[in-house]
Amino acid sequence: MRAQISMFTACLLMFVQVNMGLVCYQNDEKTGEILEVENDDFAYCRYFPARNSSGSLPSKKEKSDEIFKEEATDEPFEEFFNQNDSFYEVLSICLYEKYDFKKMARGFGNFQLSRLKRSKQMKVEHQFRCICNYDRCNNNATFAQYFGGL
Classify 55 in phi/psi space as left (phi over 0), alpha (psi -120 to 50) or beta: left
* 29 lies in some domain: yes
pTM value surpassing 0.85: no
Chain center to CA of 21: 15
Asked if the model's pLDDT at residue 6 lies above 90, the reply is no
Residue 125 forms part of a structural domain: yes
Which pLDDT score, from 0 to 100, does residue 32 have? 83
Residue 92, pLDDT > 90, answer yes
Rounded to an integer, the average pLDDT of 17-30 is: 82
On the question of pLDDT at 59 being above 70, the answer is no
- Number of domains into which the chain is organized: 1
33 within some domain:
yes
Percentage of residues in the chain having pLDDT higher than 90? 39
In the prediction, which pLDDT does 113 show?
A: 53
Residue-range definition of the domain harbouring residue 44:
22-148
